[in-house]
């Protein structure tokens, strides 16, 4: 029998889940987590919340429950733009923005297997020198522009995008076109017509990429996957789902983690100095940053395909469930002194990369980006610090929080 994590057998608390709470948001000007998470973990770990787009969902905050829910095959991921129904006339039945996360077996398994070798720990290790080169290239330009500088625009934002584009085979120079289209596609408040329009644009762009890999193969993951269509392992639709996944989730979260990591380390100069002088701490520090930084404040949404029980609450078929990874990673029944960043934390079974068949395929790559991204900064700017009198700006409408600007000096 699989050992249960601490807290798994806690009795259902008395708090009333009939109340519908407003969707918890991080306090303005911070990365989070939402203050309600700690209270809900203690008193109502499976709560009803009202989402900004006028729908309700079950908000799951304890580690043990989040861990179960994210790997439960009875909960599926709806396609971006598919849930909830958006304002405006109903969209027609054309193709949707389907990514890897929404694929079901056996197609999902075939795609995961075909892409696995490109994202394995060995493949990523081999790629590290090139990842470092890309970091140095960006930092050369950043340093040359003079101090103070905005580290988000100059480094934490372009770095993971540059790495992913090169590895996967997406032209980096197309970013001025696809970044705004992606932002519109991921905006939950657009109408169904607007959603369909940007979906069509992204599908056409990805189809063009696939066609180019076929006529002019490169040394990249898209070319690898296109070649697996020839032997019947994959279809063009599978490669399309992969390409759309890379655009929608392949770089943004890494950028957010890198920006929040630097922001958090610089908030206490002794943290920066400690990592600079004790590089052996880096692997554990990266895991701790992944646990501690509440980027995933409630963005993952699942739909129940049948009635299921979550800690004594009945989640009905069709109900939405939000497992709050950031809250699970702050659960004091699993992590001692959970609200404290402990760069030397030894036992760290965080859930930042999810769990189960849909866990993050880019986890090794993300770890490498965070490690190399920080090391390159520590090597170059031993005395990096927040720029005097300039606060970072935050987008307080978004639940996935990271600074929009990070003014630094050195
Ligand atoms: C710190 C950075 C990252 C974090 C914290 C993160 C987190 C996650 C999480 C929690 C999931 C699971 C979502 C679910 O259960 O539906 C996921 C899935 C996924 N991630 Fe990441 N991710 C990161 C970086 C990346 C990168 C760099 C890539 C690029 C390859 C990537 C590609 C994907 C894909 C394709 C999926 C869907 C996998 C599937 O459904 O089979 N992620 N990620």
pLDDT of residue 5: 35
Distance CA 147, CA 407 (A): 9
Q: Rounded to 5 degrees, what are φ and ψ at 175?
A: -60, -35
User: Is residue 100 lining ligand 1, measured as CB closer than 6 Å?
Assistant: yes
Q: Is 362 in the pocket of ligand 1 (CB under 6 A)?
A: yes
Pairing of strands 302-304, 55-60: unpaired
321 lines ligand 1 (CB under 6 A): no
Tokens of 254: 């890494």
**CB-based contact 111:233 (threshold 8 Å):** no
User: Is the Cβ atom of 322 under 6 angstroms away from ligand 1?
Assistant: no
- Ligand 1 in contact with 248 (CB < 6 A)? no
Domain 20-409 has CATH 2.120.10.30: no
Of the chain, the end-to-end C-alpha distance in Å amounts to 53
What pLDDT does residue 88 have?
A: 60
What pLDDT, in 10s, does the model give residues 302-340? Answer: 999 999 999 999 999 999 999 999 999 999 999 999 999
HSE, CB side, 13 Å, CA atoms: give it for residue 135: 23
Whole-number Å distance, alpha carbon 397 to ligand 1 midpoint, is 22
Round the average pLDDT of the chain to a whole number and report it: 92
Nearest CA to ligand 1 atom 35: 245
Amino acid 1: pLDDT: 29
Identify the pLDDT of residue 8: 37
Quick: pLDDT tens for 112-145: 999 999 999 999 999 999 999 999 999 999 999 9
What Rg, from alpha-carbon coordinates, does the chain have? 21
Q: Is 222 in the pocket of ligand 1 (CB under 6 A)?
A: no
> DSSP letter string over 253-284?
HHHHHHHHHHHHHHHSHHHHHHHHH-GGGHHH
What residues does each domain of the chain span? 20-409
Structure tokens at 78: 């709806």
Q: Does residue 86 line the site of ligand 1, with CB under 6 A?
A: no
Which H or E run includes 164? helix 158-168
Q: What is the per-residue pLDDT across 275-307, written as a single tens digit (0 to 9) for each?
A: 999 999 999 999 999 999 999 888 899 999 999
- Ligand 1 centre distance from Cα of residue 241 (Å): 14
Q: From CA 120, how far away is CA 101, in angstroms rounded?
A: 18
Per-residue pLDDT, 315: 98
Ligand 1 atom closest to Cα of 302?
Answer: 16
CA of 250 to the centre of ligand 1 (A): 7
Which pLDDT does position 12 carry in this prediction? Answer: 41
Residue numbers of the chain with a pLDDT score lower than 70: 1-18, 86-94
Residue 217 CB coordination number (10 Å): 14
368 neighbors 124 (Cβ within 8 angstroms): yes
């Amino acid at each position: 029998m699989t050992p249960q994590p601490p807290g798994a057998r806690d009795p259902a608390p008395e708090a009333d889940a009939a109340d519908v709470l407003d969707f918890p948001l991080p306090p303005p000007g911070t990365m989070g987590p939402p203050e309600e998470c700690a209270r809900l973990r203690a008193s109502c770990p499976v709560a009803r919340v009202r989402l900004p787009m006028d729908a309700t969902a079950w908000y799951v905050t304890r580690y043990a429950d989040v861990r179960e829910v994210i790997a439960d095959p009875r909960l599926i991921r709806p396609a971006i733009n598919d849930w909830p129904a958006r304002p405006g006339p109903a969209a027609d039945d054309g193709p949707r923005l389907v990514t890897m996360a929404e694929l079901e077996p056996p197609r999902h398994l075939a795609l995961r297997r075909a892409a696995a070798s490109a994202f394995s720990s060995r493949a990523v290790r081999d790629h590290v020198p090139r990842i470092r080169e890309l970091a140095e290239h960006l930092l050369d330009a950043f340093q040359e522009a003079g101090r103070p500088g905005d580290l988000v625009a100059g480094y934490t934002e372009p770095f993971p995008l540059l790495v992913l584009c090169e590895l996967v085979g997406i032209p980096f120079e197309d970013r001025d076109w696809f970044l705004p289209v992606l932002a519109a596609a991921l905006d939950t408040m657009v109408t169904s017509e607007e959603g369909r329009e940007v979906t069509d644009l992204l599908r056409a762009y990805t189809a063009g990429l696939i066609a180019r890999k076929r006529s002019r193969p490169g040394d990249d993951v898209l070319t690898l996957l296109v070649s697996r269509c020839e032997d019947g392992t994959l279809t063009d639709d599978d490669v399309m789902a992969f390409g759309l996944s890379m655009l929608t989730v392949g770089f943004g979260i890494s950028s957010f983690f890198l920006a929040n990591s630097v922001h958090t380390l610089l908030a206490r100069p002794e943290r920066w100095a400690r990592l600079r002088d004790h590089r052996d701490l880096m692997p554990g520090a990266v895991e701790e940053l992944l646990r501690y930084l509440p980027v995933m404040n409630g963005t993952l949404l699942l739909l129940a395909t049948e009635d299921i029980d979550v800690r004594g609450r009945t989640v009905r078929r069709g109900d939405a469930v939000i497992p709050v990874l950031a809250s699970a990673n702050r659960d004091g029944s699993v992590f001692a002194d959970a609200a404290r960043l402990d760069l030397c934390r030894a036992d760290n079974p965080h859930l930042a990369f999810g769990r189960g068949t849909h866990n993050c395929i880019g986890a090794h790559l993300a770890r490498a980006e965070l490690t190399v991204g920080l090391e390159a900064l520590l090597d170059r700017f031993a005395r990096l610090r927040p720029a005097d009198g300039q606060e970072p700006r935050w987008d307080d409408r978004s639940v996935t929080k990271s600074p929009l600007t990070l003014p630094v000096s050195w």
